[in-house]
Amino acid sequence: MYVRHVAAENILPFDVDKEHGPCSCGDKKSYGPLDETLNRRRIIEAKEWERHHRAELEPLSLCNALSPIQYIGSGLTVEPLHNVRLIGLGIHPAVAQDFAEKETFVILLRSEKSIGVLYLNLPPHAKGIEVVGNNTNLLKIRGEPNISVLDPILRSLYYSSTVYDINDRDIINFQFNNFTVQIHIHIRRTTVPFLFDVGPGDDITKKVTVITKTFERYQAITSLVESINKYYPGMTIIVADDSERPQKINGSNIKQYIMPFAEGASAGRNLALSQIRTKYFLWVDDDFIFTNGTKLEVFIEKFENPNVMLDVIGGTFGDKDGVSKHKCYGCRTISWYKGDNNGDCFVRHGNTHYHQLKEYPQCYMTDAITMFFMARTEAFRRGVFDPEYERIGHTEYFVNRLGKIRLASCSDVNILHARISNKKYAKFRNNAPVGAMVRHLLLNMNLKCFKL
């Protein structure tokens, strides 16, 4: 049985309107719900998603009070079609002695999902025991009153996966006489490492690629490229360009990829991301300018600190002299509340963050940041930007990655936001189809409502 964790009380940092069901965003400023037609499609898709991702849920493991059986309720992992020993099994010595001296003991093991078999790996001539169902999903072991045989039996029990699946779970019901416990087996295919060769020495241009997306702002992208080359000459710059009449961006370290006209911000980010060959990348908007405060080595130091586990590190905005203006610019926390068949809810909290990092007091853990950050390439490639968000999509990406990336924002690295615009750029930016994006987000994230 798969059981989702449902909190008895709302412990999240926003108020839930309990009068309107288990999930409500509470006021007229929220977005949602979907109309009836789209909502029916959302429900169908949500059920399919739930079925597909059910194996990722950690099942409950109930530890019986006063049970004489020692066991590992969860944590046993096996490759598909391989076997694993049921380690940790034991019977309390007093109970074992009592049973061994007075009566025959019976051990029963059963695979609840029948996707694996159980077997006792003892020599066939072992005395004092009777084995029925070895290498089946129901194994029965009967032993005569002899305590010396009990421990070898418990150390020789194995589970063998018989159905190939990259991520599944089985439950073994283990019974010793009248006592029963459940042992959870996680059947999971090994994931392959994705490593980067950063080359000899400590050349940061071999570790980091700058990526950006530009649209009808060649004055801006030219200034950005010049500023990067001033501080980090030779660092590769990847530019995804969906301008109507593309112009060549000069520079030997520039990789300019031309896209269909007005294809969109998220599609451009995905294109740039797909071309990175370095361990890290720096995302910048095309109207940013490097300054004395744009110290990429400071990002790298944090990533390479073995005591810090981060996938994404955001910076802040500063002035032309590299002086930071903010402690945690663009930091946002996101509260997610599980709903029912009507969908879930989330609320984005602006200008908020979690705790400071003890190793770096200028850094705060958070859920979403502004679009100036460095990230581990491998971690970010696990999830792409949704191309449906053509003109917006900053927060939406990070909402989609909740629970999958560790993210912090630090005030010791900053960049200048030059805020360059023109009529053509503004026309597309200001006429973003907000209504369509809202409907997509509600369906895509299985939402009843959300609040920004």
The HSE-up count of residue 19 (CA atoms within 13 Å, CB side) is: 2
The contacts of residue 289 (CB under 8 Å, 6+ apart) are: 223, 224, 227, 320, 415, 416, 417, 418
Q: What is the pTM of this model?
A: 0.84
Decide: 170 and 137 in contact? Cβ < 8 Å. Answer: no
**Per-residue pLDDT at 21:** 46
Same domain, residue pair 414 and 280: yes
List the end-to-end C-alpha distance of the chain, in Å, as a whole number. Answer: 36
Per-residue burial over 390-399, b if 16 or more Cβ lie within 10 Å, else e, is bbbbbbbbbb
Residues 336 and 246 in one domain: yes
What whole-number distance in Å separates Cα of residue 85 and Cα of residue 158? 4
Which DSSP state fits 4?
-
Band (322; pLDDT cuts 50, 70, 90): confident
Do the domain assignments include residue 176?
yes
349-398 tens-digit pLDDT = 989 999 999 999 999 999 999 889 999 999 888 777 776 766 666 677 88
Question: What are the tens digits of pLDDT across the range 254-268?
Answer: 999 999 999 988 889
How many domains does the chain fold into?
A: 2
Is 236 found in the same domain as 159? Answer: no
Range of the domain at 363: 204-451
Q: Phi/psi zone of residue 302: left (φ > 0), alpha (ψ -120 to 50 degrees), beta?
A: alpha
Q: Per-residue pLDDT for 294 more than 70?
A: yes
CB 314, CB 369: distance < 8 Å: yes
Rounded to the nearest integer, the mean pLDDT of the chain is: 86
Judged by phi (left if over 0) then psi (alpha if -120 to 50, else beta), residue 23 lies in beta
Compute the distance between CA of residue 239 and CA of residue 214 in angstroms, rounded to an integer.
7
- Laid out side by side, the sheet with 116-120 consists of 83-85, 157-161, 116-120
Mean pLDDT of 32-37: 91
170 and 223 both lie in a single domain: no
Q: Are residues 238 and 364 located together in one domain of the fold?
A: yes
CA–CA distance, 363 with 368 (Å, rounded to integer)? 14
Question: What are the pLDDT digits (tens) for 328-356?
Answer: 888 999 988 888 888 999 888 989 999 99
In a domain, 16, yes or no: no
Is residue 181 one of the residues assigned to a domain? yes
Look at residue 309 and tell me if it is in a domain: yes
Query: Structure tokens of 29?
Result: 């400023």
The Cα-based distances of 266 to 149, 240, 344, 395, 428 in angstroms read: 64, 10, 24, 12, 14
The domain boundary, picked from 134, 159, 188, lies at: 188
pLDDT digits (tens, 9 = 90+) for 114-161: 999 999 998 766 777 889 999 999 999 988 766 678 888 999 999 999
Helix (H, G, I), strand (E, B) or coil at 375: strand
Cis preceding linkage at 59, omega within 30: no
Residue 87 lies in a domain: yes
How far apart (Å, rounded) are the C-alpha atoms in residues 70 and 392? 54
Is residue 7's pLDDT more than 60? Answer: no
Q: Confidence class of residue 14 from pLDDT cuts 50, 70 and 90?
A: very low
Residues 225 and 181 in one domain: no
Residues 261, 346 within the same domain: yes
Residues 71-111: tens digit of each pLDDT: 888 889 999 999 999 999 988 877 777 766 667 889 999 99
Residue 95: per-residue pLDDT: 75
Q: What is the SS3 assignment for 290?
A: coil
Cα-based angle 99, 100, 105 (whole degrees, multiple of 5) = 65
CA 168 to each of CA 46, 78, 79: distance values in angstroms, whole numbers, following the listed order: 20, 10, 10
Domain CATH code at residue 154: 2.60.40.680
Task: Classify residue 285: in a domain, yes or no.
Answer: yes
| Shared domain check, 383 and 319 | yes
Same domain, 340 and 420: yes
Please indicate, yes or no, whether residues 253 and 351 belong to a single structural domain of this protein: yes
Q: Which of 188, 218, 234 is the last residue of a domain?
A: 188
Looking at the DSSP bridge assignments, the partners of residue 364 are 356, 409
Residues 181 and 225 in one domain: no
Shared-domain flag, residues 215 and 182 = no
CATH number at residue 223: 3.90.550.10
Predicted pLDDT at 99: 66
Q: Is it the case that residue 24 has pLDDT exceeding 80? A: no
Does 35 map to a domain? no
Check residue 18 and give its pLDDT: 44
Question: Which among 161, 188, 215 is the end of a domain?
Answer: 188
Is 198 part of any domain?
no
pLDDT tens per residue, range 211-240: 999 999 999 999 999 999 999 999 999 999
